[in-house]
A and B are shown apart, each in its own frame.
Chain A
Amino acid sequence: MNPEMLHAARILMGDSLGFHIIFVLFGLTLPILVSWFEWMGIRRKDPKLIAVAKFWSKIMALLVITGVISGTIIALQMSLVWPGILKFGGEVIGLPFMFETYAFLIEAVFLALYMSTWNNKKISPKLHWVLGLFVILGSNMSAYAITSINGWMNLPSGFDMKDGQVINADVVQAMFSNVALVEFFHSMPGYYLSAALTVAGLYALKLWRVNGKDRLKPKYNLDWFIIKKLVIFCAVMFVLSAITADITGKYLAKNEPVKLAAIELNYATRDNAPLLVGGVAGENNTINGPHIEIPGALSVLAGNTPNTVVQGLDEFAKSDRPPLYVHTLFDVKMTLINILAVIIVGFLVLWKWRPNLLKNSAVLLAVGVSGFIAICIVELGWMMTEIGRQPWAIRGYLTTAEALTKTHDITTFGYLFPLSYLLLFITTILAVKKIVKNNSVKGTK
């Protein structure tokens, strides 16, 4: 295997996933936000809220146009660049791929119908709202199917091995494994949080650009209403993310100990294992750079008590270890999560006890950038998951190098696809700006 080709293929897949995940976030979250505001508008008989829902739905449809094409490209890459994955496990894990097409079809049909029936007099507002629920159903089913495939790659199940061949394939068990559920319920709140915070952030930035004295004028009441509702939504999602993160930590300790050891840079198997903050891997199992160790915290994370024994990197051959820079990714991710927590909690505290301070430029700017921070957290989370599984494509069975196509050099495509993503991204941003300019809802609430 040519290492350069493997490297190029990894970069291509990483670029594709990194690009596509941004549209996944919005594709999953905007239908929920749109339905929520449409429902509020119907119940309160408030046309402004329905107008907000309609405005967001236009952006949702636009982002789908881009997301569909990047999703299609990823489906092709997954099969054609890494045929080894499906050759090994296709008869076990093929079912979620097939079910994903159901979900995709439901989402596509009902999204198109939803968008084309706004203000249609033959369809009641409540029926229109119900059409939106099918979009939510389709997008989340699709997310589950894809997440279950990734979960299976992290912890393969639902089959036996005999003479190097997969036998006794249990396709249902593979699709609904514990790891799939853990990943799904940890990912979803994070997606909802990051996309909702981005939307709230855009409204905050809009107010930030207004003269400070004017920010509390009635004409901005609707913007404040949206920001407050979305920050509450984000706070709930943040708590759910934290709970599921704890479950994920325990799952990793039990099922993917080498990944946890790499993420925490835990070299030795021990109880009372410390949680490392900062530092990078050095030569001969050392830690370089400024860092602190919180005694026993990793053991508590892994098993709720300091007595829990946590497996270290010393139990795994060097060739089976992932790149240790995943620890730095984790540190950056945790730093960003803490910043996000301060912003969300700070906003809610000010709203409750010092509402006048909400119009402060620093507060609005903090909320404004929080969406970008949240998207970075999601990207870092996926990088840790994928890089943390290396050198395996299907952990314990098939390495990434073995999974790569043997017949074609993908280096050329490795340049062409990222270029097309860049152009798509720029055009999408310009298109969103145009929609915002032409459709934003103004007025009191």
Chain B
Amino acid sequence: MIWALILFLVPVALFVAAFLYETFLSFIRLKRPKSGKESYVSATWEVTHTLLVFAVVMLLMLFTKSIDGIASAIFVSTFLAALALAVRSICYLQIFYVRKKQKINWVDWTFALSHVVAALLLVVTVLKALLFLYQNKPDVNEQFIPFFIPGLILVLVVCFVPLLMLYRTKN
């Protein structure tokens, strides 16, 4: 159980940190709009999403025997968060790729607020999942862990320096 929780909660923590940073930047740029993408962390966009997918996959794959209950607990908040992330993507493309003038308008506000909405819904999702795990203490698919952990260490070694470089750059 402890390994399962680590594999779920560590990517959640990393995602929260990265996403809060992006949320912070999305609001900062409302006051100080710049002309290009330098006002937002476009380079880390996919990496941040990866952390979210990582957390979701760990939660669901390690507890498949109780997936009915987990899915039921997190269904609405997760889907609403996914919609908020879709809105965020649409606004991102509109702001940084499509429109000509970098003048702050409702799209920028929607973009910034979509971060907040998504973050809140994801927090609700994580809390509901943890509550379910605490109350039901479901069985863990431990047969994956011997395969998964060595690979994870290898991947993190490969990706560590690039990741560090990426989060220090803004374009």
Give A contacts to B, CB under 8 Å: 62, 64-66, 68-69, 71-73, 75-76, 79-80, 83, 86-87, 89-91, 94-95, 97-102, 104-113, 115-116, 169, 171-172, 405-408, 413, 416-417, 420-421, 423-424, 427-428, 430-431, 434-435
B149 to chain A, nearest CB (A): 10
CA distance A104 to B50 in the complex (A): 6
* Residues of chain B within 8 A of A434, CB atoms compared: 97-98
State which of B58, B61, B86, B171 has its C-beta within 8 Å of the C-beta of A116: B171
Complex Cα distance A116/B64, Å?
Answer: 38
Specify the main secondary structure of chain A where it touches its partner.
helix
The answer to whether B144 touches A65, judged by C-beta atoms less than 8 angstroms apart, is no
In the complex the two chains form, is A111's CB within 8 Å of B46's CB?
A: yes
In angstroms, Cα B68 to Cα A169, docked, is 20
> What is the minimal beta-carbon distance from B169 to any residue of chain A, in angstroms?
6
Q: Does B49 contact A91, Cβ atoms closer than 8 Å?
A: no
B43 and A99: CB pair below 8 A? no
Query: Which residues in chain B, 31-67, are within 8 Å of chain A measured between CB atoms?
Result: 43-47, 49-50, 52-54, 56-58, 60-62, 64-65, 67
Of chain B, the residue at the smallest CB distance from A100 is B57
Contacting B151 at CB < 8 Å: which of A99, A104, A112, A408? A99
Q: Which residue of B lies closest to A116 (CB)?
A: B43
In the complex the two chains form, is B49's CB within 8 Å of A69's CB? yes
Contact partner of A171 among B43, B78, B85, B144, CB < 8 A? B144
Contact of B75 among A72, A169, A405, A420 (CB under 8 A): A405
Give the distance in Å from the alpha carbon of A136 to the alpha carbon of B45 in the complex.
Answer: 18
- Residues B86 and A73 in contact, CB atoms below 8 Å apart: yes
Q: A69-B89, A115-B43, A408-B76 are in contact. Are A94 and B144 (CB under 8 A)?
A: yes
Closest residue on chain A to residue B49 by CB atoms: A68
Q: B159–A109 contact, CB under 8 A?
A: yes
Q: Roughly how many angstroms separate A91 CA and B66 CA in the complex, as a whole number?
A: 11
Known: A95-B144, A431-B97. A101 touches B53 (CB 8 A): yes
29 contacting pairs across A/B (C-beta < 8 A): A65-B93, A75-B56, A80-B75, A83-B68, A86-B64, A90-B60, A90-B64, A94-B141, A95-B144, A97-B57, A99-B151, A101-B54, A105-B54, A105-B159, A106-B155, A106-B159, A108-B50, A109-B166, A112-B45, A113-B162, A113-B165, A113-B166, A169-B143, A407-B71, A407-B75, A416-B83, A417-B83, A417-B86, A424-B86
Task: A102 to B151: give the CA distance in the assembly, Å.
Answer: 8
What residues on A are CB-neighbors of B148 within 8 Å? 95, 98-99
**Taking the complex as formed, is B10 at the interface, i.e. its CB lies under 8 A from any CB of chain A?**
no
Q: Is the CB of A73 within 8 A of B159?
A: no
Known: A108-B47, A109-B166, A405-B72. A65 touches B92 (CB 8 A): yes
Q: Which 9 A-B pairs have the closest CB atoms?
A: A90-B64, A431-B97, A94-B61, A108-B46, A420-B86, A407-B72, A83-B71, A427-B93, A69-B89
Interface size on B, residues (CB 8 A): 56
Q: A80-B79, A86-B67 are in contact. Are A98 and B144 (CB under 8 A)?
A: yes
Question: Is the CB–CB distance between B52 and A66 below 8 Å?
Answer: no
Minimal beta-carbon separation of A71 from chain B (angstroms):
8
CA of A71 to CA of B45, assembled, Å: 14
Chain B residues whose CB sits within 8 angstroms of the CB of A99 once the complex forms:
148, 151
Q: Does B87 contact A (CB under 8 A)?
A: yes
Q: CB < 8 Å: which of B49, B60, B82, B92 contacts A108? A: B49
Task: From known contacts A80-B74, A90-B65, infer whether A420 and B83 are also in contact, taking CB-CB under 8 Å.
Answer: yes
Q: Please report the C-alpha to C-alpha distance between residue A420 and residue B155 in the assembled complex, in whole angstroms.
A: 33
What residues on B are CB-neighbors of A408 within 8 Å?
72, 75-76
Query: Cα distance A241–B90 when bound, in Å?
Result: 35
* Contact A102 to B76, CB < 8 A, known contacts A86-B67, A109-B163: no
Inter-chain CA distance A413–B159, complex, in Å, is: 36
Are the CB atoms of A431 and B98 closer together than 8 Å?
yes
- Separation in Å of the A148 CB from the closest CB of chain B? 14
In the complex, chain A residues whose CB is within 8 Å of the CB of B50? 101, 104-105, 108
A423-B114 Cα distance, complex, nearest whole Å: 15
Most buried by B among A65, A101, A110: A101
Chain A residues whose C-beta falls within 8 Å of the C-beta of B57 in the assembled complex: 75, 97-98, 100-101
Cα-based distance from A420 to B91 in the complex (angstroms): 11
Let me know if B53 and A104 touch, CB within 8 A: yes
The residue that B71 contacts in the complex, of A65, A80, A89, A413, with Cβ under 8 A, is: A80
Which residue in chain B gives the minimum CB-CB distance to A413? B79
Set A104, A112, A171: member contacting B147, Cβ < 8 A: A171
Which residues of the partner chain B approach A421 to less than 8 Å between Cβ atoms?
A: 86
Query: Is the CB–CB distance between A105 and B47 below 8 Å?
Result: yes
Complex Cα spacing A108 to B47, Å: 5
Residues of B within 8 A of A427 (CB): 90, 93-94, 98
Judge whether A98 and B61 touch: CB under 8 Å.
Answer: yes
Q: CA–CA, A95 to B162, complex, Å?
A: 26
Whether B64 lies near A87 (C-beta < 8 A) is yes
B2 an interface residue at 8 Å Cβ cutoff? Answer: no
Name the B residues within 8 Å of A66 (CB-CB). 89, 93
Closest chain-A Cβ to B58's Cβ sits at a distance in Å of 7
Interchain CB contact under 8 A, B162 and A109: yes
A406 to B98, CA, bound (A): 41
Distance, CA A349 to CA B92, complexed state (A)? 45
B68 in complex: contacting residue of A69, A101, A406, A416, CB < 8 Å: A406
**Smallest CB-CB separation from A58: which chain B residue?**
B97
Do A420 and B87 form a contact, CB below 8 Å, given A98-B58, A104-B53, A108-B49? Answer: yes
